[in-house]
Amino acid sequence: MAGVKGQVQQRGVERRRAMVDAALELFGRQGVRGTGLATVAERAGTTASALIHHFGSKDGLVRAVLAEADRRALARLGAAPEAEPTLEQAFAWFVRDAEHTAATERELTALHTTLTAENLTPGTALHDWFRDRGRALRSHLAAAFARAAADGTARPDLDPATLAAETAAFLEGAHLLWLLDPEHIDLPALHRSYFTGLSARLTPPPA
């Protein structure tokens, strides 16, 4: 019985993955509003009722898609959610992610930016998800800045929370500028310039 139960659970995991993969592709290409559950279900080889069973609602499916996009980004960068990178590693990750985004993920980035704007108001479907994601990013960044200050690789007088908010603001703003004007905004170059400058600002003064 245990073997049969395991097989059933595995099939459930595979069905859920197929649904998320289909939604990620369609949402990125057509937007959330332009993609119905029936279309996602057809692409995934299942039914709309099965989607509701797994995710509860279309908003639940969108949250799963956003979480999967984040998971793939971390996997691509070789980072675990609980990782404690150095500032040098973190800055390099952001540059590599910008290179990947500019090359292959404009639609998904546009989806992410659009959904963020649509959920700025408390009480909207995904407001808490985006707020908590932003807080988690800033927390990881602040911790990295604090570690650098403590181990002597960055200035001891830096303000980790302010620097974390500044870096997060750059990341959001850079993607928005690039989405609006990709012919004139070089996303990877912008990231390289910003993080090179930030590194210089944080370099400890000579002893």
Query: Could you tell me if 154 and 202 are in contact, meaning their C-beta atoms sit under 8 angstroms apart?
Result: yes
- pLDDT for 147-171, tens place per residue? 999 999 999 999 999 999 999 999 9
Position with higher pLDDT, 82 vs 128: 128
For the chain, how many residues are written? 207
Q: According to the model, what pLDDT value does residue 4 have?
A: 47
CA pair distance 98, 194, nearest whole angstrom: 12
Domains of the chain are 1-76 (1.10.357.10), 79-207 (1.10.357)
Q: Is 22 within 8 Å of 40 (Cβ atoms)? A: yes
Percent of the chain with pLDDT over 90: 70
End-to-end CA distance of the chain: 68
pLDDT of res. 6: 54
> Residue 152, SS3?
coil
Rounded-to-integer distance, Cα 149 and Cα 120, Å? 33
29-69 per-position pLDDT tens digit: 888 888 999 999 999 999 999 999 999 999 999 999 999 88
Return d(Cα 40, Cα 27) in angstroms, integer: 9
> What's the rounded mean pLDDT across residues 185-204?
97
Q: How far apart are CA 148 and CA 154, in angstroms?
A: 5
Tokens 């963020």 belong to residue: 116
- pLDDT-derived band of residue 192, with 50, 70 and 90 as boundaries? very high
Closest CA to 105 of 182, 11, 193: 182
- Residue 7 scores a pLDDT above 60: no
